[in-house]
Amino acid sequence: MRTSSTGGEQVFLDTLPKNFLARVEQYGDRKTAMRKKEYGIWREYTWADSFRRVKAFCLGLVSLGLEKGDKVCIIGDNDPEFYWAELAIQSAGGTTIGIFTDSIPTEIEYIVNHSDAVFVVAHDQEQCDKLLEIRDRVPNIKHVIYWDARGLWGYDDPWLMAFEEVEALGHEYEKVHPDYYDELVAQGSGDDTAIFSYTSGTTGLPKGAMIAHRNFIGYMQNMTEVETWFDTDDYLSFSPLAWITEQAMGLTGHVVNGIVIDFIESPETIRENIREIAPHSLLFSSRLWESMVSQVQMRISDTSLINRFLYRVFMPIGYKVADMRFEEHKLTLLWRLLYALGEIALFKPLRDQLGLSRIRFAYTSGAALSPDAVRFFRAIGVKLKNLYGSTEGIVHTLHRDDDLKFTSVGKPPPGMEIKIAENGEILVKGPSVFMGYYKDPEKTAETIIDGWFHTGDAGYIDEDGHLIYLDRVKDLLELAGGGRFSPQYIEGRLKFSPYIRDVMAIGGADKAYVTTIIIIDFDNVGRWAEKQGIAYTTLVDLSQKPEVYGLIRADVEWVNKTLPPAARVRKFALLHKEFDPDEAELTRTRKLRRTFMEDRYEQMIDSMYSDGRDVRVQAEVKYRDGRMGVVETAVRIMTLEETGTT
């Protein structure tokens, strides 16, 4: 237990519906539970409103034949009806399965049949049409129940039912069984399966991870040891509810902590809606956070002269203060005063424009977020934090307050344990670890051993207790000395640098250490060189300047600090040209053709694994006046040692 936002001891009940009923009893009609913007107006629902909808829908499903242990799929955008349907199904002892809205009919067919679902709750005409297309191939589905009737008025098919029709059945059922809903909820257990969350299926058919109520409650107990939510907090529900993280942060946070859930009108209105809501907590993908940074950077060039001046003056101060906090330096009075001025002149107005004026918890999960984006938000006063987790374990680690490292995914919350296996695999144990895969006991036995979930991810724990995520274990390469490294991790981290355009990391069973071939970003390095007074003519000329090697060396050394000694880059060369899809060096999606590249640059690679200091190459160059030519040049090889560089 912990102290709740109302001052008493917070009790964590063992199922989501039990916690929901506790919030209904606590707040009733006195407090808003949800908001949804419809037709330009924010419509509010109290906890009592939600209770009436959940109970009616639950009993309506029961009257249609839903039994304890049955499964129901839900496919649709984030809406109050999604929450109501899920809580109603779980109240009856059922299990919900969220399906991503962009799933094609064959993908829906697989999940519906594999999960043994008996109903599908669908958002709108688009989703109903997909289900009608596969109707003959999903024989267990008794009804498809839709909550948005637009476009469906002309459909005359008893297989389709409106959400309100099911609720009407529930009202009739309640007249005969007045206390049955409460009895159903009371029969629930923390060991009951709350949801199936299907994996992405990148290595085969999607697997249905069985998540118990106790997994969600255990997750929230862990998180409340790190963060404090208040029942006055607004949470913007935008990430798909088919994603385990949104289920944990949104729905679980709602019923356990009483936070208010806000639903936008449409994806197209998110920027307007988020500013109107000004949420206290927010979960976005890295793509959306980076889009917000780009939005600011584009708009600042079109704003007034005074705003551009304030941005140029105070953003460097914000970055400096953020960096000092990262490095745990105590802020001097001067820096506190400068930042306070920046707060008034720039940071507060900027947060307001972004809809982040009240933000306390800003999270990103999924793909790695660039350090520049993290620094930007930290500079303007938004403590953006990275979450690392999985379908099978919800949240494994997270960053806390200013204890942030760009290269790490944070530390485990209290209650979660992390350890690294001999092969470098990240193992996780804790109350949020799932029960297993539906209909796949063999895979379950391979994945959960002695209570430890084997993530399939590779990483290590640094001296400060932060977890460094590297790659999938299967994608690691082994070196001649037995050490292992992740080419994708090294390449990805180096490309965070504004001065690096492309990278190829090299190593293998016949190589004793890691090397890299790096392509500089000609425009950014060119601007840097001009500011430093360094003259150059072409990419070939610029790439081989000793000062440029020094610039890139700093980035390589920064990445090396995040790697175990055996995986660190020992040598690198700055290539005289860019990697080119037309020369078969890259695919059209800019993925490296590694085997081809290793053959093409064999002489350069051999030099990096010998005592060579450079390698002679012929390069085609384009001069500024448009003339083309071929020059012979020496591509330098820089060696990095623990004691220095040569």
3-state helix, strand, coil in the chain (%, to 5): 40, 25, 35
Q: What is the mean pLDDT of residues 133-138?
A: 97
Torsion of CA 546, 547, 548, 552, to 10 degrees: 100
Query: What pLDDT shows up at residue 326?
Result: 77
Does position 5 have pLDDT exceeding 50, yes or no? no
Query: What pLDDT shows up at residue 210?
Result: 98
Query: What percentage of the chain reaches a pLDDT higher than 90?
Result: 63
Task: Quick: pLDDT tens for 514-543.
Answer: 999 999 999 889 999 998 999 998 888 899
Query: What pLDDT shows up at residue 584?
Result: 72
What is the C-alpha separation between 466 and 485, in angstroms, rounded? 18
Strand order in the sheet with 234-236: 41-46, 32-38, 260-263, 234-236, 281-285, 361-365, 384-390, 394-398
Q: Which domains, from first to last, does the chain contain?
A: 13-268 (3.40.50.12780), 280-382 (no CATH), 384-475 (2.30.38.10), 479-645 (3.30.300.30)
Hey, what amino acid is at 337?
L
Q: What is the mean pLDDT of residues 466-479?
A: 86
Beta strands in 335-480 (DSSP E): 361-365, 384-390, 394-398, 417-420, 425-429, 436-437, 448-449, 452-461, 467-472, 477-478
Indicate the pLDDT class of residue 631, thresholds 50, 70 and 90: low
Q: What is the mean pLDDT of residues 93-117?
A: 96
Task: Quick: pLDDT tens for 137-158.
Answer: 999 999 999 999 999 988 999 9
Residue 557, strand partner residues:
none
What is the C-alpha separation between 102 and 134, in angstroms, rounded? 16
Q: What is the mean pLDDT of residues 554-580?
A: 89
Q: What is the mean pLDDT of residues 233-238?
A: 95
Indicate the pLDDT class of residue 625, thresholds 50, 70 and 90: low
CB contact at 8 A, 248 and 216 = yes
Helix/strand/coil for 209:
strand
Does position 4 have pLDDT exceeding 50, yes or no? no
CB contact at 8 A, 539 and 522 = yes
Among 18-22, 214-218, 497-501, whose mean pLDDT is lowest?
Answer: 497-501
Q: Which of 159-168, 269-278, 315-324 has the highest mean pLDDT?
A: 159-168
Helix/strand/coil for 219:
helix
Hey, what amino acid is at 357?
S
Beta strands in 304-433 (DSSP E): 361-365, 384-390, 394-398, 417-420, 425-429
Indicate the pLDDT class of residue 6, thresholds 50, 70 and 90: very low
